[in-house]
Amino acid sequence: MEDLSLHILDIVDNAIAARAKRIEIWVVEEPSEDRLTIEIRDDGIGMDEEVRQKAVDPFFTTRSSRRVGLGLSFMAQAAQEAGGSLRVESELGKGTKVIASFRYHHIDRKPLGSMVETVMTLLFGNPELEILYAHGKDGKSFALSSSSVKNHFRDRPLIDPEVIQWVERRLKEGLKQIGVQG
């Protein structure tokens, strides 16, 4: 995968497959500390300890539709290549938290990619889910949730063109205000 936003999509896909109803994506950029952290939390079915320990193994998957599970292993590899790490915390019935850290200025760190496109894909492709996206950089922060969008446009579906344009504008402006290119 070319950028980290695609890894985020893949891990969120895992959360959806685990029957999550709420998914949180936290991106924290700390250039002065040489650190980038991506945390994805869900309230899905979670994993027992045995499955959690095998979760980053590319030859392990709980899906019956394929023999390999590459999402977490690719993210772990991307983190390790950039001097970071990946940690998975999970509990059956309570959900999963994936925390990936990267050295911000490492030459092998993949670019973050388009978080605007990633968040829009998740919001509009999964209107039944509660999705929270929060992004911080250098002490500034921006957040957008599907519930805030739904509350702002109470009488319109998420797929309404005006809603889509508003969300795109809000994401671009919010990220620009904290010094992040969408």
pLDDT tens for the chain, 182 residues long, are: 689 999 999 999 989 989 999 999 999 999 999 999 999 999 999 887 776 666 655 554 554 444 334 578 889 999 999 999 999 999 899 999 999 999 999 999 999 999 999 999 999 999 999 999 999 999 999 999 999 999 999 989 888 999 999 999 999 999 999 999 86
Say what the pTM is: 0.90
Strands 130-137 and 22-30: parallel
Q: What are phi and psi of 146, to 5 degrees?
A: -65, -35
Q: Superfamily assignment of 4-177 in CATH? A: Histidine kinase-like ATPase, C-terminal domain (3.30.565.10)
How far from the centroid of its chain's Cα atoms is residue 165's Cα? 22
